Chains A and B, each alone.
Chain A
Amino acid sequence: MADAPLLEVTGIETSYGLSRVLFGVSLKIETGEMVSLLGRNGMGKTTTVRSIMGLTPAAAGSIHFAGKEIRLLPAYRVAKLGIGLVPEGRQVFPNLTAHENLVATAANHRGANAGRDRIWTIDTVHALFPRLAERAGSMANVLSGGEQQMLAIGRALMTNPRLLILDEATEGLAPLIRDEIWHCLHRLRAAGQSILVIDKNVEALTRIADRHYVVERGRVVWTGSSAELANAPDIQHRYLGI
């Protein structure tokens, strides 16, 4: 018997004011999978994430997470159910120190049943990102881009999410830092963390992620495994500009 997917999005439609951005997006993520959302800028990837989180609610369709319909829930309820967001642009709290950024919103969203222990504490996050331990007392707005990105990831992990969502987590970072981030994601995946990732680096994604969705103009135009994506240069070319 198959388990229900951790996250199942069906036909969501979302608009910003009067302009429609999503025209029926569907995707699903099984527990333990790492799934990617691909596509050029402005195609609706971030909007999809915002709709899942309840930040820009979807007007139609359904979003099931851990067995619950969450489409109309406010963002904080969605987060409490177990989704941790690493947003586009990092958005660390500039007027808090690195340490405060991690602990301010720390929680255990793994699920109330069985009183599951927190995997992610300040110590384990510091173990994953030693740089953050060094910079713990610095105000977040003086951290480098890479450090801020690690902070944003650590902040989301500190809520012990069942699903981690990363939106353009390597954007604007030097190649060395990018590799560090990919490496970290690889470790998270290996540890069983379910992950939804938006990124432009198809090569890295085909190495680490399980499945991919390609979004074009608010619709999913292709989906498949990493192997399938690697073997479909025409898809890569047409929708991803590679």
Chain B
Amino acid sequence: MLYFIEQFLNGVQLGMLLFLLAAGLTLVFGIMDLVNLAHGSLYMIGAYFAATFAAWTESFVLGAVLAVIAALVVGMALEVVAIRRLYGRDHLDHVLGTFGLLLFFNELVRLVWGPAGLTLSLPSPMLSAVQVLPGLYYPVYRLVIIAVTLAVALFLYVLIMRTRLGMLIRAGASNREMVGALGVNIKLLYTLIFALGAALAGFAGLMQAPILTVQIGMGENILIAAFVVVTIGGIGSIRGAFVAALLVGLADTVGRTFVPDLLHRFLSNAAASGLGRGLSSMMIYLLMALVLIVRPEGLFPATRK
């Protein structure tokens, strides 16, 4: 039972990271109708910046803050220089163009930081575990991830639902032409949205860095999961991304933990581990297929004009 709760928390924590990544993706896809394969690159850059800045300042928190700012700036620059020229084009042109950016960023990181990858270590208070339930110790840092991401989610909620900028973002998702016709500088709005997405992605990257990795190409694997989240949640919906991210995080963790166990009961050891690994990774795709069958537009499709 305790094991189950621990895995449940892991699933939530993974879901929170996925949410950060998917939120930016769904905003950009929903409002600017842009497929951005380089979103994972921003995630990677956030992690690399954080590792570097944390080493310079000898402070994890300071490094994290600087990294988010850096990711924001990179996002803005990227939008102005490259991304905005792809608006309105065929999705395949987006794929071609952002794929080029993906290659470019991987190579750039290799040039600046070398091929080996970096580490980002946590300050000592976060290295321990706390007792969340009698008999269950859970790493402090993972709890921090959950808490901080929930705070970010709350911030996003307030931003989108309660501010004028949020109203414009939502209006832009359903009818960007009309928003422009009413006097709003859509170009600037787009830059801001893209930069926000970049900051979120970079933040996700740096948050997972102490647990997982800081290496070239780290964005590629999680990007697919993020796209799955966006698809399940409904393109353009932050709320959908939140719910879907939790579902996907839980499905993936549950899959990885329990599917191999299940298989071990029925198959030989060797077959079970191999197949188990394979099948458990499939969980999120099965989930997506299931959702799309029942709700072809995702869980919370943004009402489009």
Contacts and interface: CB of A to CB of B under 8 A. Distances in A.
Contacts of B303: 94-95, 141
A141 B170 CA distance: 14
Interface string A60-103: 00000000000000111001100011010001011110001101
Interface residues of A, number: 26
Q: Which of A55, A93, A94, A141 has the most CB of B within 10 A?
A: A93
Contacts of A103: 164, 167
A156 B173 contact: no
Contact of A85 (B167, B181, B184): B181
A109 interface: yes
A159 B184 CA distance: 11
Contact of A75 (B167, B171, B181): B181
Interface in B167-192: 167-168, 170-171, 173-175, 177-186
A95 B173 contact: yes
B305 interface: yes
Contact of B167 (A84, A87, A96, A156): A96
Nearest to A101: B171
Contacts of B16: none
Given A94-B305, A95-B173, A96-B170, A159 B164 contact: no
Given A94-B303, A95-B302, A141-B303, A53 B171 contact: no
A48 to B, nearest CB: 15
A105 interface: yes
B171 A104 contact: yes
A155 interface: yes
A93 B174 contact: yes
Contacts of B185: 76
6 contacts: A76-B181, A76-B186, A79-B180, A87-B178, A100-B170, A105-B168
Interface of A: 53, 55, 74-76, 79-80, 84-85, 87, 91, 93-96, 100-101, 103-105, 107, 109, 141, 155-156, 159
Interface of B: 164, 167-168, 170-171, 173-175, 177-186, 302-303, 305
Given A79-B183, A95-B303, A104-B168, 9 more contacts: A75-B181, A76-B185, A85-B182, A93-B171, A93-B174, A93-B175, A96-B167, A107-B183, A159-B183
